[in-house]
Structure 1
Amino acid sequence: MTEERMNMSAPEDGSEDFAALLAEHDAVADRVHPGQKVTGTIIEISGDSVFVNIGIKIDGVMDRKDILDADGKETLAVGDTIELYVTGVSSQEIRLSRSMGGSGMAALEEARDAAVPVDGRVVATCKGGYTVEVLGKTAFCPGSQMDAVSVADAESMVGRTLQFLVLRVENRGRNIVVSRRALLDRERQENLEKVLAELNVGDTVEGRITRTAPFGAFMELAPGVEGMIHLSELSWSRVGAADEAVSVGDSVRAKLLSVSKDDKGRVRISLSRKQAEGDPWADVADKVVAGSVMEGKVVRTAPFGAFVELAPGIEGLVHISELSWTKRVHKAEDVVNVGDVVNVKVKEVNADARRISLSLRDAEGDPWQDAATRFAAGTVVTGTVESRAQFGLFVNLAPGITGLLPAGVIKGCKNAAELNKLDKGDSVTLTVQNLDTAARRISLAPEGYKGAPAREDHSWKQHASTNTSSSAGGLNIMAQALQKAMQNKR
């Protein structure tokens, strides 16, 4: 030990100030105790000793052999940080070690009394637990004391060298009981106290996902210290299971929501991954722009339409009237299913109300956009009978475009008998008699028909109402109310 490190203050008359020494010893004893795990920095390597600064007035000392590898080479150097256990405390030094060394009864009893870990090799399984070699003796580790959680495959532990606490030494060493779980629990408690001392509610922490459960995922904040991220706090997107948002081993950031104790006194740490990421609606205006076409995923359906997720936590509603140009939609599932990836056009964004109106059919394009060119008066067209009514035949000419062959026209033409035999699905060739793109109406007649154009039939209004009900304006009042209620429920 260096002269500076050995120099203890003493009175000028040469008598030892025992009161000062006692006070100094008591102060050190309040800071560290045998069995405690400490972190320090190597400040000197001299002879067979390594001196370590552990943050108090007196330096710690460990044997140099603790930092040598199998070839006798030093594995650490001055300035390196190391974790050690306190094996002894006095007013002059603090003895440190990576684990209790030596052999025989004296070493076992010292390890037990000081609560310092010992290295042990699991040599076999036995009834109720494991046989472990520690400090030259054979010890028993109960199965429940091998780990903090139940070991699924006991044989997988055989051959491993681990650290244990000596719980019991009886009958001159014939009954030695060790526990690894007690050591893990002690280290967990120390780490927990450190975590709780450093963190406050609202802080953002980083950690690793260690396991998942039906109700969420567990994140390791420090060795043995876990916090729980509830399913509802894993993502701004809707998730049905934790593995939809995270996987074991993932490094994630989370916000500390609360620290509490359950009925058994166990500390529970609640975390939120989504809150650490920030509210996705805060900059929705930059992400979702009215008039743009975006790709999204159908996350759920309702009687009035389908909800599409455009980005994590940002959903919009495709009203049932905005699902298709090409067919009558009675329910959203007629067109889309949950999980479908679709293109939608953004019709309206209301960031304050957190509501976005979308259109699936507009993203696909309006089939009537070029109808004036494709179906000009006099054009011969071939279509498929869509339905028959008392006022005539509705004929589908193209996806989303239906024309009417009025009953009065059928009655006045030469091949009325043939036309009256047509049924749903039959093909028929006709001539466009009239086109009204604003009203989305096409009147048809048989080829060569010379009669006057049919008078406007109010049945067109009925057909158009059934086919494109509530197409204008996106969300109707009822849809808005229902959507708002569902958002409030979330």
Structure 2
Amino acid sequence: MTTEEQRNSPAPEDGGEDFAALLAAHDEASSGQVQPGQKVKGTIIAVTGENVFVDVGLKEDGIMDRKDLLDADGKEIAGPGETVEAWVVAASPQGIVLSRSMSGSGVAALEEARDAGVPVEGRVTGTCKGGYLVEVLGKSAFCPGSQMDAAASDGEGPVGRTLQFLVTRVENRGRNIVVSRRALLDRERRESLEKLLETLKPGDMVEGRVTRLAPFGAFVELAPAVEGMIHLSELAWSRVASADEAVSVGDPVRVKVLGITTNEKGQTRISLSRKQAEGDPWQDVPARLAAGSIVQGKVRRLAPFGAFVEVLPGVEGLIHISEMSWAKRVNKPEDVLSVGDEVSVKVKDVNPETRRIALSLRDAEGDPWQDAEQRFPVGATVEGTVEGRSQYGLFVTLAPGITGLLPAGVIKNSKKPELAKLDKGDSVTLVVQNIDSGARRISLTYEGADNDPQAAGAGPRGAGGGGWKQHAVSGAPVTGIMAQALQKAMQKSSKERS
């Protein structure tokens, strides 16, 4: 029946379809659904003799050489009922020829692979000026260095490896053969990206694997040869200085798609966030961290003014330098803490609005002055270590965080020359002359001072020459914790009186 006869023929009385016409249209459409060089996936129907028949979802089955299913050890990688991926070498109504990679040898096979866009297996045998030497289908080929792009993710060099390439040039009867690894990867990436973008959209949560790290973030493989990028700021809720602080190559990660953009060159970029996929850790911070509680944390980073400690996953608080120690004056955080230290800290304040948590290392250990009057009562004999000498006298450490002063007047008026010879680090036995826990001050004297007429009137109430107050000279240089505290207190008192 001609086309004109079909057009003029009456429609079936029962309204049914012309199945012959539909079948013909289907056959015509089927023959154009695959093209040479296209990668397809199918199910092995049967393996007979030297041929393998594959159902690729079209009217015609695919056929491939049985040898193409053998691995390096000669074992078949798949059998009937299993899935296999292959390249279309030729497509016609009579059949579809498939190959996992172009096989054979000689210039004709290389030209066929070039024309069909089917990859060939090649072994990288060495390097040469500008690129690599590759043995492919029994011939020596050249791969430019810029076209190798192989093993970038695992850090291995390509020499000695067997990889797949596209043949880009065959000239002078096979004397000039050029192959490209990068062209194949780019093609696979385009195909994989097109398939991924059919369903992927901003806001989606997807799984991936970290493939490489960069100074600005981490790349994650979302589909074969398709990567998205997590910026440093999106790797974790806590501050991250480098990507390896949060992830490692090979790590499986769950990420949120932030955006998909295509630039003027046609390059598609997928922006990802790991922290948003995990959820905001600050949502339940007020319920989990209460002011006054003592918690465990890990020091994440140091700054000139303090240390940042992670107290919950993704939640950091700050130990100010003034909150690090009762026992000594801390000039820089690294004198007390190191990155990675596990510490106990006291929560002083939690502010969800500003996302700030104030922590104290010294308060978690307890205030040493809380029971100082019971530990060091007036008249008690105590042992200490000289912290330092100044014009005001000797500052003596009696316990961690507690320092007393042996005034210069007491030392000068005593009959004990050994007091004048004491220096930093020396041990000494003294007597508590006066203690004020509120002001955090202890005045000291030496044993036997009550029987020393030269020491009479040297201190408060007749012993010590006025104790702390006598030695708080305004404007004088001050060293040591107690001396500095003393000078500040006296300067404040002087301003109030004026």
Structure 2 CA distance for partners of 1:298 and 1:343, relative to 1, 3 Å = farther
Identify the residue that residue 447 of structure 2 maps to in structure 1: 447
What secondary structure, in the 3-state scheme, does the structure 2 residue paired with 1:346 have? Answer: strand
Displacement of 1:323: 2.0
1:18-33 correspondence runs (5 A): 23-33=25-35
Displacement of 1:299: 1.3
Give the whole-Å Cα distance in 2 for the aligned partners of 1:73 and 1:417: 97
What secondary structure, in the 3-state scheme, does the structure 2 residue paired with 1:181 have? Answer: helix
Give the whole-Å Cα distance in 1 for the aligned partners of 2:141 and 2:104: 19
Identify the residue that residue 84 of structure 1 maps to in structure 2: 86
What secondary structure, in the 3-state scheme, does the structure 1 residue paired with 2:239 have? Answer: coil
Displacement of 1:83: 0.8
1:367-446 correspondence runs (5 A): 367-384=368-385, 394-404=395-405, 410=410, 415=414, 421=420, 425=424, 428-446=428-446
Q: Is the 8 A contact 1:21 1:91 kept in 2?
A: no
Identify the residue that residue 110 of structure 1 maps to in structure 2: 112
Displacement of 1:85: 0.8
Structure 2 CA distance for partners of 1:40 and 1:376, relative to 1, 3 Å = same
Identify the residue that residue 217 of structure 1 maps to in structure 2: 218
Question: Alignment partner for residue 301 of structure 1, among 289, 300, 303?
Answer: 303
- Structure 1 stretch 92-101 or stretch 21-30: which is displaced more? 21-30
Question: What's the TM-score once normalised by structure 2's chain length?
Answer: 0.74
Structure 2 CA distance for partners of 1:317 and 1:468, relative to 1, 3 Å = farther
Give the whole-Å Cα distance in 1 for the aligned partners of 2:387 and 2:177: 89
Give the whole-Å Cα distance in 2 for the aligned partners of 1:361 and 1:432: 25
Q: Which amino acid aligns with 2:376?
A: F
Give the whole-Å Cα distance in 2 for the aligned partners of 1:421 and 1:123: 83
**1:463-484 alpha-carbon deviations (Å, 9 max, x no partner):** 87944999xxxxxxxxxxxxxx
1:23-62 correspondence runs (5 A): 23-46=25-48, 48-62=50-64
Structure 2 CA distance for partners of 1:292 and 1:466, relative to 1, 3 Å = same
What secondary structure, in the 3-state scheme, does the structure 1 residue paired with 2:293 have? Answer: coil
Displacement of 1:37: 0.5
Displacement of 1:18: 9.4
Identify the residue that residue 12 of structure 1 maps to in structure 2: none
Identify the residue that residue 488 of structure 1 maps to in structure 2: none
Question: What's the TM-score once normalised by structure 1's chain length?
Answer: 0.75
What secondary structure, in the 3-state scheme, does the structure 2 residue paired with 1:31 have? Answer: coil
Identify the residue that residue 349 of structure 1 maps to in structure 2: 350
Identify the residue that residue 64 of structure 1 maps to in structure 2: 66
What secondary structure, in the 3-state scheme, does the structure 2 residue paired with 1:192 have? Answer: helix
**1:182-216 alpha-carbon deviations (Å, 9 max, x no partner):** 22221121122222223222223333333222222
Q: Is the 8 A contact 1:145 1:180 kept in 2?
A: no
Identify the residue that residue 478 of structure 2 maps to in structure 1: none
Identify the residue that residue 199 of structure 1 maps to in structure 2: 200
**1:356-402 alpha-carbon deviations (Å, 9 max, x no partner):** 22111122332224424421232112335557788876543222223
Structure 2 CA distance for partners of 1:145 and 1:285, relative to 1, 3 Å = same
Structure 1 stretches lacking a partner, 5+ long: 1-16, 471-490
1:273 paired with 2:279, answer no
Q: Is the 8 A contact 1:300 1:308 kept in 2?
A: no
Q: Is the 8 A contact 1:432 1:443 kept in 2?
A: yes
What secondary structure, in the 3-state scheme, does the structure 2 residue paired with 1:50 have? Answer: strand
Measured on the aligned residues, the alpha-carbon RMSD in Å equals 4.3
Q: Which amino acid aligns with 1:306?
A: A
Identify the residue that residue 475 of structure 2 maps to in structure 1: none
Structure 2 CA distance for partners of 1:371 and 1:249, relative to 1, 3 Å = same
Structure 2 CA distance for partners of 1:134 and 1:416, relative to 1, 3 Å = closer
Q: Is the 8 A contact 1:42 1:52 kept in 2?
A: yes
Q: Which amino acid aligns with 1:33?
A: Q
- Structure 1 stretch 239-248 or stretch 431-440: which is displaced more? 431-440
Give the whole-Å Cα distance in 1 for the aligned partners of 2:487 and 2:82: 75
Structure 2 stretches lacking a partner, 5+ long: 1-18, 451-455, 473-480, 489-498
Give the whole-Å Cα distance in 2 for the aligned partners of 1:385 and 1:162: 73
What secondary structure, in the 3-state scheme, does the structure 1 residue paired with 2:317 have? Answer: strand
Q: Is the 8 A contact 2:144 2:180 kept in 1?
A: no
Structure 2 CA distance for partners of 1:176 and 1:26, relative to 1, 3 Å = farther
Equivalenced residues, count = 450
Give the whole-Å Cα distance in 2 for the aligned partners of 1:435 and 1:85: 90
* Percent of pairs with identical residues: 60
